[in-house]
Amino acid sequence: MRVGVFWLISIFTVMAGRDGILGRNDDIKTKRELTVNKRKHPGPVQEYELLLQMAYRDSNEKKNLKNFLKLLMPPSLLLHGPMEIIRVKATTYCSSLNGALRCACEDGHSWFPPTCLDPQKCYLHTAGSIQSCNCHLSNLSQSTNFCERAKIWGSFKINEKFTKDLLNSSSAKYFKYTTGIEIQLTEAYGRIQGFELVQVTQFREGSIIVGYEVIGSSSPLELLSAIEQVAEKAEAALHKLFPLEDGSFRVFGEAQCNSIVFGFGSKNDEYTLPCSSGYTGNITARCQSSGWQVIRENCVLSQLEELKKNFSAIADNTTEAAVSSLVQNLSVIIEQSPSTTAGNLASVVSILGKVSTLSLANHFKVSNSTMEDVINIADHVLNSASITNWTVLLQEEKHASSLLLETLENISTLVPPTALPLNFSGEFINWKGIPVTKSQSQKDYNYQTEMLPQNTSITIRGHVLIGSDQFQKSLPETIISMASLTLGNILPVTQNGNAQVNGPVISTIIHNYSISEIFLIFSKIESNLTQPHCVFWDFSHLQWNSAGCHLVNETADTVICRCTHLTSFSFLMSPFVPTAVIPVVQWITYVGLAISIGSLILCLIIETLFWKQVKKNQTSHTRHICMVNIALSILIANVWFIVAATVDTTANPSGVCIAAVFFTHFFYLSLFFWMLMLGILLAYRIILVFHQMTMPLMMALGFCVGYGCPLVISVITIAVTQPSNGYIRKDVCWLNWSNGSKPLLAFVIPALTIVAVNLVVVLLVLMKLRRPTVGEGMNRDDKATVICMGKSLLILTPLLGLTWGFGIGTMADSQNLAWHVIFALLNAFQGFFILCFGILLDSKLRQLLLNKLSPLISWKKPSKQNSSDLSAKPKFSKACNPLQHKGIYTLSHTRDSSNDVTLTQFLSTE
């Protein structure tokens, strides 16, 4: 018959005659022994507690073990100097069944805190008369919360200034306070039945907040009741030594949180401790329902902190050799580091980021040995065991993981082709780089990697495939690919709270080159997850982005993705366009642009044919100057937009793409500033009715604003951002949004500001139309007024650029299909709207056009007006004649046709 295995957990309290071998945070945990330093003072006597785990098979062996423990003598070689065992107590017994562990407490002991053994893997079963701890693990190697005697907690506040010496168990002040407090409380509680000991467990800031524990052999309720009865006596005893704050002394029988490191606390209490020896910084934990949870931690290895300081000091005059040496030193420090803290992670990311920035700015090359050191460092910080520390770090520095990925990509681009091929395979990251030869145009690029997640035997594969047809133009110098499973766990998922990265994160870098198609094949980490989405990490928005990527196929354990680079009109105002929108918006964009270009050419031809007739009075002349320049600007801008859409975005960043972006930026800005001039002219004619400005002055003002301002903005933008390669985007030939300078703002801010100004002008016009003019009195037809205002709004909206205001929607709610479709429809067809509302609805131009075409048609619309009549006083219908005063300028509505609503002709009644 197979005999079950049991464990008995015993606690020894050992007293030694000189300083011990363990420090505050030097806990030693092994499979058979858990050694914890519970008390340490700089005096002549040191006291330690040792937790031993021993196996037995039946009750007789358990009894023999207990007797053996009582007779056990301390080994002479454990510590130097005299030593004795002053207390031995068996606390916890456990049994193993089918790989699971079940533990209970010895008589007179209980679980403190309510969670038992390992809070992550065990739960406390309270049903029945005996509490038991059930665990999904086979040993106690990571356990910390064993059964203990009855425990009561207490705290009080001392009105003295808190110093960090109270956090150092070796300091004289710590010894003075703990010794004095424990002596006074021991005297106060000493006569309580079952009392064993009292010990100070923590000092916190807030004056000085002291926490202590009282341990006894009686039940917790009896011990708490007895302590409450002598509370006044204990408080008075402490008053003899320290100035206690009135009302701060309290005791309680339950603690929400309790641990060896942070002591006890109530819900939402925060406790900050200095990092252990060899580290700088602090660690802060908050008491939550699951126990103490670390919320901030900046513990940095002293050697690492010194390296950061030295690097900062030489950063301005660094050399390629100095950077390589620093990376090598960093690799050595990281590999020798006993643990990966959140502070260490932050420091490594910061140092590598500076290395990347300096190397790019100074055009340093990265040798194969330096690249190997970088990958070794990355492999260390991407250790799956450090994910918890990454979680803590990302609470304070939410972009740290993105910065690490971007840094690794940037450093990889600095490896020269002569140093390749290279292949570095770490446990948590794989990196491969190849030089590109002429034969690449005849063969596909393949990158394959295999990784093994922790605690599983399933191999996770990643595969990148780029067809040879993508290398038919000028070839790149290198292709770098790297993959990591840990990156998927630390790059935040923000689009959907239920989503998670279910495969390796693969990055392929082809510097100064672009492709239009790439296939990626991923193994699923968890095959039970459904609804896969193909995404890439968007450094612009610091989130996962599905633009340009879509699912090709899915099997039970594999996902195939295809990614492309597409351009749509919405990209002008929105750096992100959802995948579902792209085909629709792209179709609208190119159809609209084709129609607009044809319409604008027709506009300019009509204006050229009848220029002499339309410039006979100043108002008409200035308006048509604005219309011509609006049409010309948007025509050239649309042509350059098409050029930018067809250009290879990164193959020649200093050539056609930059030129296309500059001229597209300049002419679209010119469009907006000329629309601003049209709006100002309209407001000028409405508000300053009797004021006249000379034609040369108006021309000078118009051209300075219409072309001068856009030129200044465009030149400053490229001059400031292009030296740092931040002018254009990597994926689309348009102004960048990802860099700190964000040059796209040089288009968005002027455009939306002009839209806002012109909106005010339109509101002013509508108010003028709504207000009855002198002489109309109550005969005003309200319905006709509303119709007239509606038609006026319809005309002015595209001509003054108000349709571009929908760009705010594409930026604020980029996932909404409606915003992108509306924006593309209204603005891709803006040239067509200008032809309709700016030219064909102009009654004078329409009449001239009909006269010109009359020989070619068999009919002619009867008209009581000729060209000379049109320059005379017009006849306004009362339905659209809100301002019928001498010298007032208004939107005209011709008497002969109720459908002829003309953009402000500025015709005077003079």
pLDDT digits (tens, 9 = 90+) for 79-95: 556 667 766 777 788 87
Q: How far is CA 752 from the centre of its chain?
A: 26
Reported in sequence order, the residue ranges of 534-661 that DSSP labels E, i.e. its strands, are 536-538, 543-545, 549-554, 558-563
The region, left, alpha or beta by phi > 0 then psi within -120 to 50, assigned to residue 663 is alpha
Given pLDDT bands bounded at 50, 70 and 90, which one contains residue 416?
A: very high
Residues 6+ apart with CB under 8 A from 694: none
pLDDT digits (tens, 9 = 90+) for 377-391: 999 999 988 898 999
pLDDT for the residue numbered 9: 59
| Cross-strand partners of 9 | 53, 92
114-123, 255-264, 534-543, 597-606 — most confident range:
597-606
What mean pLDDT is predicted for residues 693-704?
Answer: 82
> What is the SS3 assignment for 797?
helix
Query: By the 8 A CB rule, do 49 and 179 touch?
Result: no
pLDDT for the residue numbered 114: 57
pLDDT for the residue numbered 142: 58
Instruction: With a cut of 80, say whether residue 100 has pLDDT above it.
Output: no
Residues 6+ apart with CB under 8 A from 846: 840, 900
pLDDT digits (tens, 9 = 90+) for 830-869: 888 888 887 777 777 777 777 777 665 544 444 444 433 3
> What is the SS3 assignment for 166?
helix
Q: Which residue has the higher pLDDT, 114 or 810?
A: 810
749 burial (CB, 10 Å; 0-12 / 13-18 / 19+) is exposed
pLDDT for the residue numbered 86: 64
Query: By the 8 A CB rule, do 245 and 157 touch?
Result: yes
Instruction: With a cut of 60, say whether residue 29 has pLDDT above it.
Output: no
pLDDT for the residue numbered 895: 35
What mean pLDDT is predicted for residues 727-745?
Answer: 75
What is the Cα–Cα distance from 827 to 755, expressed in whole angstroms?
13
What mean pLDDT is predicted for residues 140-153?
Answer: 72
pTM of the model: 0.53
pLDDT for the residue numbered 654: 56
pLDDT for the residue numbered 574: 44
What mean pLDDT is predicted for residues 621-644?
Answer: 88
> What is the SS3 assignment for 731?
coil
Instruction: With a cut of 90, say whether residue 805 has pLDDT above it.
Output: no
Instruction: With a cut of 70, say whether residue 170 has pLDDT above it.
Output: yes
The per-residue pLDDT of the chain, averaged, comes to: 77
- For residue 418 the two structure tokens come to 């002569």
User: 102-111, 222-231, 349-358, 643-652: which has the minimum mean pLDDT?
Assistant: 643-652
User: 84-93, 265-274, 510-519, 621-630: which has the minimum mean pLDDT?
Assistant: 84-93
Tally Cβ neighbours within 10 Å of residue 177: 21
What is the Cα–Cα distance from 863 to 860, expressed in whole angstroms?
9
95-99, 112-116, 455-459 — most confident range:
455-459
The amino acid sitting at 728 is I
Given pLDDT bands bounded at 50, 70 and 90, which one contains residue 636?
A: very high
Q: How far is CA 110 from the centre of its chain?
A: 45
Map 668-726 to HEC letters. Answer: HHHHHHHHHHHHHHHHHHHHCCCCCCCHHHHHHHHHHHHHHHHHHHHHHHHHHHHHHCC
pLDDT digits (tens, 9 = 90+) for 423-475: 999 999 999 999 998 888 888 999 999 988 876 778 889 999 998 888 877 88
Residues 6+ apart with CB under 8 A from 254: none
> What is the SS3 assignment for 909?
coil
| Cross-strand partners of 123 | 134
- Residue burial 719-739, b: 16+ Cβ < 10 Å; e: rest: eebbeeebbbbebbbbbbbbb
User: 93-97, 505-509, 773-777: which has the minimum mean pLDDT?
Assistant: 773-777
Q: Among residues of the chain, what percentage have pLDDT more than 70? A: 76
pLDDT for the residue numbered 312: 83
Q: Which residue has the higher pLDDT, 400 or 62?
A: 400
pLDDT for the residue numbered 879: 39
What mean pLDDT is predicted for residues 762-779?
Answer: 65
